Amino acid sequence: MPTVPPLDIDATVVDICRQHANAPADLIEILHDLQEQIGHVPQSALPTIATALNLSRAEVHGVVSFYHDFREKPAGAVTVKICRAEACQSMGALPLIERICARHGVQLGGTSADGRITVEAVYCLGNCALSPAALVNDKPVGRINDERLNAAIRGAMS
Ligand code: FES
């Protein structure tokens, strides 16, 4: 069986920064590109980004930590994003989030020990009419309850 060579994160970062002409103004796009390519934005990549863009590490770290979209570690096989903004809260999103986290043994914003599921909170998916709303592997699921959400998760895992 052929082996897959390990991903050279530094080379990937340098390549992405070059695609953006090492422009500091493109920092957020660069971070998004990195997360899209390798699934997360590891701390180890930040010094390379800072050097390429001629920014301080603190500036890069500040942006990464400000935006909740960026993950420091790879997500699980299934990513569940549950809206906790006002309309969804009023329809029971918060206890639903607690139950789904307990069911899968995961902290909100984290990934289960077996790597099967990541549960994250988001703020309005633009699907308020079908609140409470979620995304399961980026697929919208509206009017979620335990049953509907667990069915969507099972579907994404199979
Ligand atoms: S408030 Fe939840 S989708 Fe808008």
Tell me the average confidence (pLDDT) per consecutive run of 10 residues in the chain, 158 residues long: 66 96 97 93 95 96 90 91 97 97 93 94 95 96 96 94
pLDDT for position 4 = 54
Tokens of residue 119, six digits: 């549960």
How far apart CA 135 and CA 139 sit, in angstroms, is 5
Three-class SS state of 148:
helix
- The preferred substitution site among 81, 82, 120, 125 for testing ligand 1, maximizing ligand atoms within 8 Å of CB, is 125
pLDDT for position 3 = 59
Residue 2 in any domain: the answer is no
Residue 72 in any domain: the answer is no
pLDDT for position 5 = 57
Domain of residue 146 covers 78-157
Residue 4 in any domain: the answer is no
CA 107 to centroid of ligand 1, rounded, Å: 21
Residues 116, 82, single domain; the answer is yes
Tokens of residue 157, six digits: 């895992």
Peptide bond into 132 cis (omega under 30): yes
Residue 96 in any domain: the answer is yes
Residue 1 in any domain: the answer is no
CA 139 to centroid of ligand 1, rounded, Å: 15
pLDDT for position 9 = 86
